[in-house]
């Protein structure tokens, strides 16, 4: 594996998931594959799960880890080609990324979207600048449009628990108090579709995702109808793609409840966390026996370790 | 040892101190007990000594270390059961602590009191939430009401230097410019009492500590009388427990001086640091031959390493 | 090597550079020289290259690393002797430095100048306080008046690329939007002079560096004349030393361009980074074949690793 920024780097998703399940058997047996190798974990945004699970995965492989909060420890960055740098931005990505590549064997980066300029976000300017100027394997720790390590962990979680060959997987929009990126739903959709699951996406009008991520899924505006017979219900808020970053007014109550879950096929609950309890879904579901959220989080180490292992094998 | 949050986890304190003195002989000889194990050091508040000494102790045991400034690197946390999470708090402790437990073999956490709501602080809501939801051994790096690694290091320091079997140990309140927690004096009192020392606590009216920590100690409002014949003088400011978090007006001058120390039995000076020079006590005492403050700080590594060793032995 | 805070700790500079070139051959082959040893990297200011290159160098030597952002993770420090500490500064350097020495085998520190009080800065109060109270080898990660790891990396870069025995090395002032320290030019000048290069320093009137760093160099106010025949052109902004920290008005255009570089002997471009593109020099020079800036940055690991190796050998 030469990089890991989307499902397109995963090869055959089901095969990669099987490989992860085998990594999971020995996840905590420290390996020597990464001995003498250093990963840089670069954060332009806050992180808890991603930070800790990726660091743990790297340690499990014997790697050294450098964590840099690029937003706080270092300098503000310029991304525009040809810029006259007379503003608050002290360093151009060309220099920063080129330099970092010389200090790390692998670079992993978190760069959220601004949710203001859709082209800027969907062109993945930050991530692509690193891909261009940082000449070592790049791993996304969630970029403007995707969160592939999360989605990979989600697929591992489904594979571990699925009781039918082609489960019905429903991605349902949930309420929230502020505008969130589309990265998690985009990414979940493309990964779930790639596994061959029957993917249904349900959300209010105005919250359609970018079609490039949802090809092969069914879009169903009626939440009840979508949930009916579901084996997995992935709960997630996101802001509008069409009216970019906005939160168009919503008709009906999208809070996920036990009544709604009664429509499912004893459906399992999934969420990438952090979750707004009793805003997105109710406590009873999160704390109930069908909740997979902690298992998903645990599988973040497995996903990261599988990816790092496959990259280390090519170094 | 299954956790380390107070003197009640220490077993026989004098025996634990002896074990620490034996650990100290080989403190820097890197061990392999912690190989492949990871400790998460979580900070909700600033730290210098605790951060560095615990990290060093973990390294000395061969562990991997993840340092997370939960207040800055991650999300604000909700602690209330059943909360409708529509405020600025993005993640519930249930999720966060459960997740962290999956990434760490041991979790150490610093969580200061707010000094506003006494029940909230003295119920140790944050620490107890971690104990409840984070199913790995928990080590306190100072919580709302106690600072056990500091107190353990203090007891090691006394054991190394004491010249009588039952020294007179005086904890004296000192002036400060802002309201400080009671964690250090609470903790010091219960540890010193547990060693069998003759413990005297002196402070102005209104600064009485919670009685649960001081049972077995003598409370003496006259500082001169308290200091007379002291073998050890532990200097520390704290705010009021009764008028919670307030700084009631004080009669007399509580700054510790050489004149006052002349009353002692050539008493040794102790302080947990950071210290306000010439506000709590004068330079000449801190820099003099009877000052143990640097030795106390050095013993922080020994205390942490002993605790981590005993926990690792149970994993 | 007992410390590394200036060229005066380097011994014979050319010999040290040769040693570095030999370290470079095996820079990434993890050594065991630092096994069981811990370095503390202390930052009072932001850092990217220095932070990551020194951490990588320490890992390459098998060391453990503690990174502490003293400005954010810990307490504000007092440096004045005899201070009555009733302000916002919670800890005196005497305590902090003494404590840190007990947790680390080597301490490296970044402490920029305030550019307000020249005596305070040029007396190197912060660095010298660490040298006085922190009784382990100290490495400067850039102090108020010098940046020796940068300069060492610069000398390695010149040694690798020079085509004549005594190259003409020109340090040229460049425009900037804010007042910068003199640490990099001071340091570069004294290191370059020590190698025996023909050093010319060019800058507008009012930007003269402190003479202690430039003895042996030629000062030439005419940039064109200075650049003529140059083998290396080191581009850097700095603020006034005479009118301390000010940015006196400048006559003429000091932006480095291809036209100006045409005067040189096919001169190589150097810069310590971060660089303001098209403010200090134009894109075409930074991105052109004669730019050494990425090589300089890469050599930061080599410089740090050589220094740490030589210090470890004395422990």
Helix (H, G, I), strand (E, B) or coil at A28: coil
Q: What is the CATH number of domain C7-146+300-312?
A: 3.40.50.1370
Looking at residue C3, its pLDDT comes to 98
Contact residues, chain A, for C287 at CB < 8 Å? 94
**Does any CB of chain B come closer than 8 Å to the CB of residue A257?**
no
Looking at residue A71, its pLDDT comes to 79
**pLDDT(A300) > 80:** yes
Contact residues, chain A, for B40 at CB < 8 Å? 52
* DSSP codes, C107-133: EEEE----SS-HHHHHTTHHHHHHHHH
Give the closest-approach CA distance of B32 to chain C in angstroms: 11
**Strand C198-202 relative to strand C268-270: parallel, antiparallel, unpaired?**
unpaired
Lowest mean pLDDT among A215-219, B75-79, C47-51: B75-79
Give the closest-approach CA distance of A34 to chain C in angstroms: 12
Preceding peptide of C243 cis, ω within 30° = no
Q: What percent of chain A has pLDDT above 70?
A: 100
Nearest CA in chain A to B40: A52
Give the closest-approach CA distance of A96 to chain C in angstroms: 8
Binning pLDDT at 50, 70 and 90, where does residue A60 land?
very high
**Strand A138-140 relative to strand A168-173: parallel, antiparallel, unpaired?**
unpaired
Q: Average pLDDT for residues A202-212, to the nearest whole number?
A: 98
Query: pLDDT tens-digit profile of B209-245?
Result: 999 999 999 999 999 999 999 999 999 999 999 999 9
Contact residues, chain C, for B303 at CB < 8 Å? none
Q: Nearest 5°: phi and psi at A311?
A: -75, -45
Query: Across the interface, which of A68, A84, A95 has its CB nearest the CB of C273?
Result: A95
Inter-residue contact B98 to A297 (CB < 8 Å): yes
A68, burial (CB in 10 Å: exposed 0-12, middle 13-18, buried 19+)? buried
Looking at residue B75, its pLDDT comes to 75
Answer whether A7-146+300-312 and A150-296 agree in fold: yes
Inter-residue contact A200 to A228 (CB < 8 Å): no
Q: Average pLDDT for residues B150-168, to the nearest whole number?
A: 98
Binning pLDDT at 50, 70 and 90, where does residue B29 land?
confident
Mutation target among B41, B85, B87 for the A interface, most CBs of A within 10 A: B85
Looking at residue C73, its pLDDT comes to 77
**pLDDT(C76) > 90:** no
Binning pLDDT at 50, 70 and 90, where does residue A76 land?
confident
- Cβ separation of B84 and A301 shorter than 8 Å? no
Neighbours of C81 (CB within 10 A): 11
Question: How many Cα atoms occupy the beta-carbon half-sphere of C219 within 13 Å?
Answer: 13
Binning pLDDT at 50, 70 and 90, where does residue A31 land?
confident
Looking at residue A75, its pLDDT comes to 76
Chains A & B: contacts with CB separation below 8 Å: 90
**Does any CB of chain B come closer than 8 Å to the CB of residue A22?**
no
Looking at residue B212, its pLDDT comes to 98
- Mean pLDDT across chain C, nearest whole number? 96
Q: What percent of chain B has pLDDT above 70?
A: 100
Which chains border B (3 or more CB–CB pairs < 8 Å)? A, C
Contact residues, chain C, for A74 at CB < 8 Å? 46-48, 51
Nearest CA in chain C to B49: C99
Looking at residue C96, its pLDDT comes to 96
Give the closest-approach CA distance of B82 to chain C in angstroms: 32
Q: Which of residues 60 through 99 in chain C touch A, CB cutoff 8 A? A: 60, 69, 72
DSSP H/E element including B119? helix B118-122
Give the closest-approach CA distance of B14 to chain C in angstroms: 24
Domain ranges for chain B, please list them. 7-146+300-312, 150-296
**pLDDT(A32) > 90:** no
Q: Average pLDDT for residues B150-156, to the nearest whole number?
A: 98
Contact residues, chain A, for C34 at CB < 8 Å? none
- Cβ separation of C273 and A91 shorter than 8 Å? yes
Contact residues, chain B, for C75 at CB < 8 Å? 46, 48, 274
- Mean pLDDT across chain B, nearest whole number? 96
Q: Nearest 5°: phi and psi at A292?
A: -105, 10
Contact residues, chain C, for B283 at CB < 8 Å? 82
Rounded distance between C-alpha atoms, residue A208 and residue A206, angstroms: 6
Give the closest-approach CA distance of A70 to chain C in angstroms: 8
Query: pLDDT tens-digit profile of C174-189?
Result: 999 999 999 999 999 9
The alpha carbons of chain C give a radius of gyration, in whole angstroms, of 20
**Does any CB of chain B come closer than 8 Å to the CB of residue C35?**
yes
Query: pLDDT tens-digit profile of B31-57?
Result: 889 999 999 999 999 899 999 999 999
Lowest mean pLDDT among B25-29, B67-71, B116-120: B25-29
pTM over 0.90: yes
Looking at residue B17, its pLDDT comes to 98
Q: Nearest 5°: phi and psi at C214?
A: -115, 5
- Cβ separation of B38 and A48 shorter than 8 Å? no
Nearest CA in chain C to A37: C28
- Cβ separation of C30 and A36 shorter than 8 Å? yes
Helix runs in C142-287, H state only: 148-161, 183-195, 211-214, 223-227, 258-261, 283-286
Q: Which of residues 192 through 251 in chain C touch B, CB cutoff 8 A? A: none
- Cβ separation of A277 and B90 shorter than 8 Å? no
Query: pLDDT tens-digit profile of C267-294?
Result: 999 999 999 999 999 999 999 999 999 9
Query: pLDDT tens-digit profile of B54-98?
Result: 999 999 999 999 999 987 777 789 999 999 999 989 999 999 999
Looking at residue C280, its pLDDT comes to 98
- Cβ separation of B91 and A59 shorter than 8 Å? no
- Cβ separation of B51 and C68 shorter than 8 Å? yes
Inter-residue contact B254 to B248 (CB < 8 Å): no
Give the closest-approach CA distance of A294 to chain B in angstroms: 6
Mutation target among B66, B72, B99, B315 for the A interface, most CBs of A within 10 A: B99
Taking alpha carbons only, the member of C184, C145, C211, C175 closest to residue C272 is C184
- Cβ separation of C98 and B294 shorter than 8 Å? yes
Nearest CA in chain C to A70: C48
Query: Across the interface, which of B35, B68, B87 has its CB nearest the CB of A51?
Result: B68
ipTM for the assembly: 0.96
The alpha carbons of chain A give a radius of gyration, in whole angstroms, of 20
- Cβ separation of C53 and A90 shorter than 8 Å? no
Query: pLDDT tens-digit profile of B5-16?
Result: 999 999 999 999
Inter-residue contact C62 to C33 (CB < 8 Å): yes
Which structure tokens are listed for A101? Answer: 């590549």
Which structure tokens are listed for C179? Answer: 């007042």
Statement: B150-296 belongs to CATH 3.40.50.1370: yes
Contact residues, chain A, for B103 at CB < 8 Å? 52-53, 55-56, 301
Helix (H, G, I), strand (E, B) or coil at C277: strand
Per-residue exposure over C282-308, b if at least 16 CB sit within 10 Å of its own CB, e if not: beebbeeebbbbbbbbbbbbbbbbbbb
Which chains border A (3 or more CB–CB pairs < 8 Å)? B, C
Query: Across the interface, which of A87, A91, A100 has its CB nearest the CB of C274?
Result: A91
Binning pLDDT at 50, 70 and 90, where does residue A203 land?
very high
Contact residues, chain B, for C94 at CB < 8 Å? 286-287
- Cβ separation of C86 and B276 shorter than 8 Å? yes
**pLDDT(C72) > 90:** no
- Cβ separation of A66 and C56 shorter than 8 Å? yes
**pLDDT(A134) > 80:** yes
């Amino acid at each position: 594996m030469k990089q890991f920024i989307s499902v397109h780097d995963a090869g055959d998703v089901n095969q990669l998931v099987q490989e992860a399940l085998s990594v999971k058997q020995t996840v905590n047996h420290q390996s020597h594959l990464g001995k003498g190798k250093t990963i840089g974990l670069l954060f332009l945004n806050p992180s808890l799960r991603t930070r800790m699970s990726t660091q743990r995965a790297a340690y499990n492989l014997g790697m050294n880890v450098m964590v840099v909060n690029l937003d706080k420890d270092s300098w503000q960055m310029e991304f525009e080609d040809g810029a006259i740098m007379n503003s608050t931005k002290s360093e151009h990505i060309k220099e920063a990324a080129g330099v970092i590549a010389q200090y790390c064997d692998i670079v992993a980066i978190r760069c959220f979207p601004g949710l203001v300029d859709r082209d800027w976000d969907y062109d993945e300017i930050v991530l692509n600048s690193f891909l261009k100027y940082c000449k070592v394997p790049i791993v996304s720790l969630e970029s403007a449009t995707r969160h592939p390590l999360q989605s990979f962990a989600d697929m591992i979680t489904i594979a571990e628990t699925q009781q039918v060959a082609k489960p019905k997987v429903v991605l349902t929009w949930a309420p929230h108090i502020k505008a969130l990126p589309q990265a998690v739903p985009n990414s979940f959709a493309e990964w779930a579709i790639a596994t061959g699951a029957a993917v249904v996406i349900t959300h209010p009008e105005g919250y359609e995702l970018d079609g490039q991520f949802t090809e092969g899924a069914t879009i169903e505006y009626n939440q009840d109808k979508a949930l009916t017979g579901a084996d997995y219900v992935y709960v997630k808020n996101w802001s509008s793609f069409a009216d970019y970053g906005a939160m168009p007014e919503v008709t009906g109550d999208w809070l996920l409840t036990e009544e709604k879950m009664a429509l499912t096929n004893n459906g399992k609950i999934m969420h990438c966390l952090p979750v707004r309890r009793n805003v997105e879904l109710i406590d009873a579901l999160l704390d109930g026996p069908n909740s997979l959220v902690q298992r998903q989080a645990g599988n973040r180490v497995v996903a990261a370790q599988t990816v790092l292992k496959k990259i280390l094998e090519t170094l």
